[in-house]
Chains A and B, each alone.
Chain A
Amino acid sequence: MTKYQLTSDQISSKVAGETVILNHNKGAYYGLNDVGVLVWDNLEKGPQTIESLCNAVTSEYEVDPDTCKSDIDTLLKDLISEKLVEVIK
């Protein structure tokens, strides 16, 4: 089962429910939307599968599992391309 984790290139901070991420290798800053924050919070706890992330989102938002999974897949791809998240081999 593929797992995803935060990379060592990133550091993040949360103020008043908003999460800001820095890729200190690249010198780029990022913000996340509500679902993004929920996914990020879970990744901060440790490596996650897409299923475990999807469960976390569906328990808080009314969304069908397939849509949720595809949205999370898109988010993870974005985070991976910015080197904030990596796949554990």
Chain B
Amino acid sequence: MHHYKAFGLNILSEIELPELSDGDASTRHDLYIQSASFELPALENTQLYRRGVRAGFAKDADENLYLHWNNVASFKASNGNCLVVRPLVDDNNLVSLFTVSEALGLILFQRGLFLLHASAVRVGNEGWCFMGMPGAGKSTTAAAFIKAGCKLLSDDLTAIGFNDNGLAYIVPAYPQLKIWDKTANGLHYEKSELQPVSEGVNKFSYQPKSDFLQEPVPLKEVFFLHKARNRKPLVPLSAAEIPTETLKNFPLPSQLLTEDALKRHFSQSFQCTRSARLWKKKRPDGFENLEKWVSESIAEQLTAG
């Protein structure tokens, strides 16, 4: 048995998940990850691809959620507290990679968290979140903030919760940020501090295991990054764009967002605006401009905070 911590959950797992923070064996677990075989219902195609594999999705009458990746693994998420993994390949690292991404996302969805395909960092005491189409620069932006001394909160999958006062906070995910070779060079990351990622030749992973935060951080700024030169560098999201832009960045099968779940997504997207500002931001051109924006943001944040 393995004990881990991720997204604020104490996890007891039958399979190894090297990406996650080590957990406390004496704490009661919130999530059990089991390795077992199970029946898959009829699957629907999704918009999700990982490693060139398209995910299949299903939901059964008991609200169990299924995700299937050909020749990698099938997953069954129940009640937000049990994830069954059926590995279809011998490579443990590959199974782990798929477990800690969308599959774990299904559990977070069942637990009512607001999910975004985004990276997030802590700037001062604030949670800042970056999203955009693939290639818009989510991880690169996060990497630049981390290089400037900010803490990593999440990469790829960001979970947002709401406290008793209705204020939004980011739940730290796990200590891994995947960056391109070009980003590592452009931001002058020490290669000795990075791990090569098996999934791509030109990717590295930054794993701040020793000082990873586990406490939620208030959500303050959300940036939808884009590369369109004909648009203004920074504009607030209009009211109509709040639910639709967050919907475009929903990291799980879109089939999940119907009826009550779509209603919840709509309300949560607006609830974010009670504590956070939402922006459309043109990605700074080149590493120099990116680092300039980062240092100005940090200085401004320190003066304000």
Q: Chain A interface (Cβ within 8 Å of chain B)?
A: 11, 13-16, 18-20, 22, 24-25, 27, 29, 31
Contact of B238 with A by CB under 8 A: yes
Per the bound structure, the CA–CA distance linking A15 and B242 in Å amounts to 10
Asked if A22 contacts B262 (CB within 8 A), the reply is yes
Q: How far is the CB of A39 from chain B (nearest CB, A)?
A: 17
Contact of B111 with A by CB under 8 A: no
Per the bound structure, the CA–CA distance linking A27 and B240 in Å amounts to 14
Task: Count chain B residues whose beta carbon lies closer than 8 angstroms to a beta carbon of A.
Answer: 16
A contact residues around B273 at 8 Å (CB) = 15
Contact of B259 with A by CB under 8 A: yes
| Among A13, A14, A18, A31: residue with most chain B CB under 10 A | A13
Asked if A13 contacts B266 (CB within 8 A), the reply is yes
Q: Chain B interface (Cβ within 8 Å of chain A)?
A: 238-240, 242-244, 257-260, 262-263, 266-267, 270, 273
The list of the 5 closest CB pairs from A to B, nearest first, reads: A18-B239, A13-B270, A15-B239, A24-B263, A22-B266
A contact residues around B266 at 8 Å (CB) = 11, 13, 22, 24
B contact residues around A13 at 8 Å (CB) = 239, 242-243, 266-267, 270
Asked if B239 contacts A29 (CB within 8 A), the reply is no
Asked if A22 contacts B258 (CB within 8 A), the reply is no
* Given A15-B239, A16-B239, A27 contacting B262 (CB threshold 8 A): yes
Asked if A24 contacts B270 (CB within 8 A), the reply is no
Asked if A11 contacts B258 (CB within 8 A), the reply is no
Per the bound structure, the CA–CA distance linking A25 and B267 in Å amounts to 15
Chain A to chain B contacts (Cβ below 8 Å), 11 pairs: A13-B239, A13-B270, A14-B239, A15-B239, A15-B270, A15-B273, A20-B242, A20-B270, A22-B243, A24-B259, A31-B240
